[in-house]
């Protein structure tokens, strides 16, 4: 595993946009949040570009990613938003460059493509966490504390988050590498070089606003691609508009049909995803999932130097 350097107060965090174009107020919020956490913020000029639905061309977004990783003054890269576009960069990224200049990358949703690819191709842990440009209405002081603590090398239980109530579908405990993210993005990576490698993994998934049949279809794709060696499952926030008026067809029943029979611990309603109150998940880190009466996710091997 490639070790990271923990952030310290006063360090500079670069704001980047690997996917959709960005509004000015999103950048303002990103700067304010970094400063409130005790850090400096550098908005990469690429964030101000527009090319169709993207924050610049593929080349411009790729160059921004490379530049913030090689800039010695930048200690972390924080994605301002998702949308769509990160997957378009994967085959052009200089992974050797990233490996030589490791630093935390934070994001979720569309950024899942980067989180998974960068870990699997370089061994550098990435961070599934709050986007830099999230609106003030969804800011949560405890979520912010968990984010800044994680980037400084301290991983705390999210039990202090408002509404924290994970549920155990299948009890047990398991250890492995934490992998996953947004289910739609994981599905889109199937059959490619960056397909998530589930052997020996604790799989994390989350999804928002996908119809139930699409949720089932994506889980079917994940299953048919092979789940051999999967050691545990953590399901974050799953929201889906009802597409069938049948109490037996729901997000909960679909998840149960895919995971309950695997003989491994399965936890649902974990505080991660497209929600106001969420924790930070280190993608690629060695973790232990405990689902015995209470739920606990522990990082068991050092992520930072």
Note down the domain range covering 205.
Answer: 158-299
Catalytic residue IDs:
109, 206, 274
Number of domains observed in the structure of the chain: 2
pLDDT at 230: 98
Asked if residue 163 and residue 137 are part of one domain, the reply reads no
> Is 7 part of a structural domain of the chain?
no
Residue 197 sits in a domain whose CATH number is 3.50.30.60
> Is 265 part of a structural domain of the chain?
yes
Asked if residue 109 and residue 196 are part of one domain, the reply reads no
DSSP 229-247: T--EEEEEEE-----S--T
Asked if residue 119 and residue 17 are part of one domain, the reply reads yes
> Is 305 part of a structural domain of the chain?
no
Asked if residue 176 and residue 287 are part of one domain, the reply reads yes
DSSP 11-75: -EEEEE-SSB---HHHHHHHHHHHHHTT-EEEE-GGGG--BTTBSS-HHHHHHHHHHHHH-TTEE
Distance, in Å, from the CA atom of 7 to the CA atom of 263, rounded to the nearest integer, reads 39
Pick the last residue of a domain from 134, 151, 168: 151
Phi, psi of 289 (to 5 degrees): -100, 120
Pick the last residue of a domain from 151, 174, 199: 151
Asked if residue 147 and residue 218 are part of one domain, the reply reads no
Asked if residue 123 and residue 172 are part of one domain, the reply reads no
Predicted TM-score (pTM) above 0.85? yes
Phi, psi of 15 (to 5 degrees): -100, 125
Pick the last residue of a domain from 151, 182, 205: 151
3-state secondary structure of 213: helix
224-271 confidence digits (pLDDT tens):
999 999 999 999 999 887 666 666 789 999 999 999 999 999 999 999
Q: How far is CA 133 from CA 17, 107, 184, 206, 301, in A?
A: 10, 10, 21, 19, 31
Asked if residue 50 and residue 175 are part of one domain, the reply reads no
In the chain, % of residues over pLDDT 70: 97
Asked if residue 249 and residue 179 are part of one domain, the reply reads yes
Asked whether the predicted pLDDT for residue 139 surpasses 90, the reply is no
Asked if residue 139 and residue 164 are part of one domain, the reply reads no
Computed over every residue of the chain, the mean pLDDT equals 95
83-96 confidence digits (pLDDT tens):
999 999 999 999 99
pLDDT at 249: 86
Residue 50 sits in a domain whose CATH number is 3.40.50.10740
Asked if residue 147 and residue 172 are part of one domain, the reply reads no
pLDDT at 246: 67
Asked whether the predicted pLDDT for residue 74 surpasses 80, the reply is yes
Mean pLDDT of 129-136: 85
Mean pLDDT of 12-16: 98
Residues forming a β-bridge with 149: none
Structure-token pair, residue 268: 């649902």
């Amino acid at each position: 595993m490639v070790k990271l350097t923990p952030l310290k107060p006063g360090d500079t965090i670069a704001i980047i946009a690997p996917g959709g174009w960005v509004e000015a107020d999103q950048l303002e919020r990103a700067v304010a949040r970094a400063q409130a956490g005790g850090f400096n913020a550098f908005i990469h000029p690429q964030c101000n570009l527009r090319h169709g639905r993207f924050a610049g061309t593929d080349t411009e977004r790729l160059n921004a990613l490379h530049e913030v990783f090689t800039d010695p003054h930048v200690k972390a890269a924080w994605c301002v938003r998702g949308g769509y576009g990160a997957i378009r960069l994967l085959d052009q990224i200089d992974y050797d460059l990233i490996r030589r200049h490791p630093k935390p990358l934070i994001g979720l949703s569309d950024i899942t493509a980067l989180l998974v690819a960068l870990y699997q191709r370089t061994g550098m842990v990435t961070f599934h966490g709050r986007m830099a440009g999230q609106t003030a209405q969804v800011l949560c002081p405890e979520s912010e504390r968990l984010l800044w603590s994680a980037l400084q090398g301290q991983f705390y239980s999210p039990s202090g988050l408002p509404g924290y109530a994970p549920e155990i579908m299948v009890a047990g405990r398991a250890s492995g590498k934490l992998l996953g993210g947004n289910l739609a993005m994981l599905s889109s990576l199937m059959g490619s070089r960056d397909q998530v490698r589930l052997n020996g993994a604790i799989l994390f998934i989350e999804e928002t606003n996908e119809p139930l049949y699409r949720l089932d279809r994506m889980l079917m794709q994940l299953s048919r691609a092979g789940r051999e060696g999967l050691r545990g499952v953590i399901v974050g926030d799953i929201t889906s508009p009802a597409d069938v008026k049948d109490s037996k067809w729901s997000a909960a029943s679909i998840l149960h049909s895919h995971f309950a029979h695997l003989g491994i611990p399965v936890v649902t309603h974990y505080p991660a995803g497209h929600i106001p109150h969420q924790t930070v998940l280190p993608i690629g880190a060695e973790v232990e999932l405990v689902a015995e009466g209470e739920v606990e996710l522990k990082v068991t091997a050092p992520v930072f130097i």
